[in-house]
């Protein structure tokens, strides 16, 4: 699987598959944390070990199949409990998980990451805030590409509430690293996504029909991004 290594700073690395899926490695003094494990990539742990010699743990922002491609390399994973049905069901994963919740702090040794719950895209979607470095790794909900909101575990109403809550936290970060779309976006995308999602819910945005992965869906282009919704 072809991928590109994109250093963010001296202790943060982004890996981007040719298909546009990103996963991240964050290093502390004691250990490192892999955030998601790719889609077509099956050796993310081995890849991460070329970047750091520290012990590596894994957290999933959520359990869609394009985020768990190398999870089999780990005996356990950090996961929000609300994501367990998606993880063991839709994604077909095995092994144990260590629960994380909104506000959970993971200490890598001199580097703390705070879990922020973002239900909506999936029930247990999370973001990770690195307040010292002032960035957020957002998973799928915050991006300028296509936000999948069709199928089980999705709810646009919950999505709006999650982003409204996150909007109140933007004094803690300057940059957002999504899993898809542009490599970085800024916090000013949040009100655009919120307003666009509300317009979709109220019927103000006209959708177009499309087939995605064998599903007949509607695509709603809000300018800042696209929402892919069930019919």
User: What pTM does this model have?
Assistant: 0.97
Q: What pLDDT is attached to residue 171?
A: 98
| Tokens found for residue 124 | 């247990």
For residue 2, name the pLDDT band (cuts at 50, 70, 90): confident
Distance separating alpha carbons of residues 219 and 157, to the nearest angstrom: 17
For residue 213, name the pLDDT band (cuts at 50, 70, 90): confident
For residue 1, name the pLDDT band (cuts at 50, 70, 90): low
Q: What pLDDT is attached to residue 193?
A: 98
Q: What residue ranges in 151-225 does DSSP mark as E strands?
A: 175-178, 208-212, 215-221
Name the average pLDDT for the chain.
97
> Is residue 134 a contact partner of residue 108, using CB atoms and an 8 Å limit?
no
For residue 166, name the pLDDT band (cuts at 50, 70, 90): very high
Return the SS3 of 196: helix
Residue range 127-140, pLDDT digits in tens: 999 999 999 999 99
What angle (nearest 5°) sits at the alpha carbon of residue 15, between those of residues 142 and 88?
Answer: 65
Residue 107 has pLDDT above 90, yes or no: yes
The total number of residues written for the chain in this structure: 231
Number of domains in the chain: 1
Which whole-number Å values give the CA distances from 60 to 107, 170, 200, 220, in the listed order?
A: 16, 22, 28, 27
- Rounded-to-10 torsion of CA 92, 36, 178, 198: 40
Instruction: Let me know if residue 226 belongs to a domain.
Output: no
Residue 188 has pLDDT above 70, yes or no: yes
Instruction: Let me know if residue 130 belongs to a domain.
Output: yes
| CA 228 and chain centroid, separation | 16
CATH number at residue 136: 3.60.15.10
Question: Whose CA is closest to 23, among 83, 170, 1, 31?
Answer: 1
Instruction: Let me know if residue 206 belongs to a domain.
Output: no
Distance separating alpha carbons of residues 161 and 164, to the nearest angstrom: 5
Distance separating alpha carbons of residues 8 and 164, to the nearest angstrom: 27
Instruction: Let me know if residue 149 belongs to a domain.
Output: yes
Residue range 45-102, pLDDT digits in tens: 999 999 999 999 999 999 999 999 999 999 999 999 999 999 999 999 999 999 999 9
- Radius of gyration over every alpha carbon of the chain, rounded to an integer in angstroms: 17
Q: What pLDDT is attached to residue 153?
A: 86
Q: What pLDDT is attached to residue 228?
A: 98
Distance separating alpha carbons of residues 66 and 101, to the nearest angstrom: 22
Distance separating alpha carbons of residues 156 and 209, to the nearest angstrom: 18
> Is residue 173 a contact partner of residue 131, using CB atoms and an 8 Å limit?
yes
Instruction: Let me know if residue 84 belongs to a domain.
Output: yes
Q: What pLDDT is attached to residue 3?
A: 87
Residue 231 has pLDDT above 90, yes or no: no
Residue 33 has pLDDT above 70, yes or no: yes
Instruction: Let me know if residue 218 belongs to a domain.
Output: no
Residue 170 has pLDDT above 70, yes or no: yes
Instruction: Let me know if residue 10 belongs to a domain.
Output: yes
Task: Provide the residue range defining the domain that includes 68.
Answer: 3-189
């Amino acid at each position: 699987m072809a991928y590109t290594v994109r250093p963010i700073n001296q202790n943060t690395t982004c890996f981007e598959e040719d298909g546009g899926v990103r996963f991240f490695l964050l290093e502390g003094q004691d250990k490192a944390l892999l955030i998601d494990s790719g889609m077509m990539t099956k050796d993310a742990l081995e890849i991460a070990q070329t970047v750091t010699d520290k012990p590596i743990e894994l957290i999933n922002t959520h359990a869609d199949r394009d985020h768990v491609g190398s999870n089999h390399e780990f005996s356990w994973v950090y996961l929000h409990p609300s994501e367990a049905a998606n993880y063991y069901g839709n994604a077909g994963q095995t092994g144990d998980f260590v629960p994380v919740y909104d506000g959970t702090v993971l200490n890598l040794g001199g580097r703390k990451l705070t879990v922020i719950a973002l239900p909506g895209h999936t029930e247990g979607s999370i973001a990770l805030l690195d307040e010292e470095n002032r960035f957020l790794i957002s998973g799928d909900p915050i991006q300028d590409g296509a936000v999948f909101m069709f199928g089980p575990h999705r709810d646009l109403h919950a999505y709006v509430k999650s982003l409204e809550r996150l909007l109140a936290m933007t004094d803690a970060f300057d940059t957002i690293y999504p899993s898809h779309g542009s490599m970085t976006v800024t916090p000013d995308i949040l009100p655009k996504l919120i307003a666009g999602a509300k317009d979709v819910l109220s019927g103000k945005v006209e959708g177009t029909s499309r087939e995605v992965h064998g599903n007949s869906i509607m695509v709603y282009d809000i300018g800042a991004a696209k929402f892919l919704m069930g019919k």
